[in-house]
Amino acid sequence: MPADWKNPRWLEAAIEEAKKGKAEGGTVQCTLKIEVKSSCLPQVFSLQTRVYIGIPIGSVLVDLEAGHGRGRIVASGHNMRVQTGDPTAHAEVVCVRNAGRRRDWHKLVLVSTLRFVNTADPVDPE
């Protein structure tokens, strides 16, 4: 019987991978300043806030049937977009790249610290 994909140790490994990305400088804090000037307005509106570029996300690719049914992590990765300047270097993509050439993709499960949101869901404006 294969391991359970909901096993907390897979998510714990993904969290550790995300921590590596943060330690490498994958999250950068910047100051964003916006000024709005208009001849119709008596004053300049200014807004300054701190924003974060890069999010510490980690992913692991798990073979649930390996390790005598206990499962085994075959690859891991974290966001590398800030570190490398590569806009495609999301944690999941890096993890799959790190897995290399395989023929058993159908047996593998990707576990990520990112919570997926279905953007096709209608948004209630109210």
3 state SS for 84-123: HCCCCCCHHHHHHHHHCCCCCHHHEEEEECCCCCCCCCCC
Q: Is the pLDDT of residue 124 over 60?
A: no
Residue 81: both structure tokens together: 């977009």
Determine contact, residues 109/95, Cβ cutoff 8 Å: no
Q: For residue 53, which of 17, 85, 76 has the smallest C-alpha distance? A: 85
Question: What are the pLDDT digits (tens) for 76-91?
Answer: 999 998 888 898 999 9
Q: Which domains does the chain have, with CATH numbers?
A: 8-27+54-112 (3.40.140.10)
Q: Is the pTM of this model over 0.85?
A: no
For the ranges 10-19, 44-53, 82-91, the lowest mean pLDDT is seen at 44-53
* Rounded Cα gap, residues 82 and 51, in angstroms: 14
Q: What pLDDT, on a 0 to 100 scale, did the predictor assign at position 125?
A: 43
